[in-house]
Amino acid sequence: MRTGLKALTRVALPVVVLAGGLVLPALPAGAAPVRYEAENATISQGLVESNHAGFSGTGFVNNDNVAGSYVEWTVNAASATSNAVLAFRYANGGGANRPLDITVNGNLVSNDLAFPSNGWTNYQSVTINAALNAGSNTIRATGATATGGPNLDALDVDTAPVPGRGNPQPPANVSTGWSIPWAVSFLPDGQSALVTERDTFRVFRAGLNGSKTQVGTVPNSTTTGGEGGLMGVAVSPGWNGSSDQDVFFFHTSNDGGAQANRIVRMSFNGTTLSNRQIIVNNLPASRFHNGGQLKFGPDGFLYATTGDAQNTSLAQNLNSPAGKVLRFTRTGAAAPGNPFNSLVYSYGHRNAQGLAWDSAGRLWSAELGNVSTDELNLILPGRNYGWPQCEGNCGVSGMENPKRTWTTAEASPSSLAIVNDTAYVAALRGQRLWRVELNGTSAGATTAHFNSFGRLRSVVKVPGANAIWIGTTNADGNGGQGPGSDRILRSEIR
């Protein structure tokens, strides 16, 4: 075991005197994050090294490849807090996840916290929230497997997360009796929404008051025996039921006898759907990896996600619409300013299904990984997001790294909403809702919520309210429950 001075701070701070006369800085409420270097912490079964560039301070801790190796920091808070942000700065070029168990004052606060491979010099932070006591706190990061932990560079501690963002409150039922509600799009008044059911092809108008009325189906819809069917829905931002009746759907269909994913425009007068017209045709379909999200952006154009249709080469092929984020007009034409003079806005996607914009108009997307890593990406026009060369963080020149990653067991993200510059990501296999604070172009504090509702498929902001709707998808083949077992929930953000 190796020990040293516990903290390196960036600002002048009050101090706390510990037993034995050791003087350490206290972390006052409202201070900027304070960095505690790993090389100055208590180290068990690890060495301080400096042979990989990019570290802060004087080096990093190379943990031994054994379960139980750890780095332990002493952190002092001027007052107790229930929501401190702990950001573990690390590098991992080992090619595989090196999870850590995180304890605070001896209490396990994160089990098998993922530290995916990201290269030995590409330092990133994995962030959790935890309670701290007033005075001295012990924070230990312990290797959870025989591979030990990643190279740990520092621990950044913030006792005052960005105010005003809020946290999701325990959800309540909006309506029940659903069968795989896939997507939700609110009408402009914010009092009701259109909801699609993937396998029944039905479309409902669902109200804030719990009302639920079927308004029709999308004709020519088919299943793929897996993840295809009736998926995304986008109500025109100017919909009024008379002069503007446009509603758009992303679905698998059999027009002309050929199964493909298509984007169609229909008319909705407030009670009934009619007049289906194809605007984007022949998007590759497969049993799995169909993408399917469809939303209007703040620029007034439609955006859609497409999967690679289980043909990985299509994601890098700019002549194919598969494995892409698409951007187009209401008639299905390429939107002005698209980077390749086609529908393609970004490429190299495996199976993106979440789309949302932050307060600055930046586009974010949640994407399902293959066997190891799911992603939260900042989408920029013309950029390559790496699939199939990369899953998760990518060391290939010209390919973008995700801003946040999870293991596929933790997430399998299917939808994304942003409220007060905080992303809410619905997880299928992970059966929880992830909350990620967005800080400009980076992803910050990340916490998990609501792990008792099963598989979560959709999440969308309620217009005019600090609240979200969340749809479950337990009536599918993976959820194991019968038809009508799904529900739509509402969570206030405060």
Would you name the residues annotated as active-site residues? Answer: 289
Strand 486-492 and strand 467-472: the pairing is antiparallel
Burial class (CB within 10 angstroms; exposed 0-12, middle 13-18, buried 19+) of 223:
middle
Alpha-carbon distance of 49 to 36, in angstroms, equals: 16
Dihedral in degrees, nearest 10, Cα atoms 27, 150, 117, 304: -20
Question: Cβ neighbours of residue 299 under 8 Å, at least 6 residues apart?
Answer: 335, 361
Q: Which residues contact 442 (CB under 8 A, 6 or more apart)?
A: 403
Distance CA 182, CA 198 (A): 6
**Lookup: tokens for 284:** 């590759």
Q: What is the distance between the alpha carbons of residues 268 and 338, in angstroms, rounded to a whole number?
A: 29
Q: What is the DSSP letter of 215?
A: E
Output the six-digit token pair for 364. Answer: 């974010």
- Do you find a cis peptide bond into 99, omega within 30 degrees of 0? no
Helix (H, G, I), strand (E, B) or coil at 334: strand
Cβ atoms of 453 and 462 closer than 8 Å: no
Per the document, the length of the chain is 494
Give the tokens for residue 448: 């998990």
**Alpha carbon distance 316, 383 (integer Å):** 11
DSSP class of residue 109 equals E
CA–CA gap between residue 363 and residue 74 (Å, rounded): 38
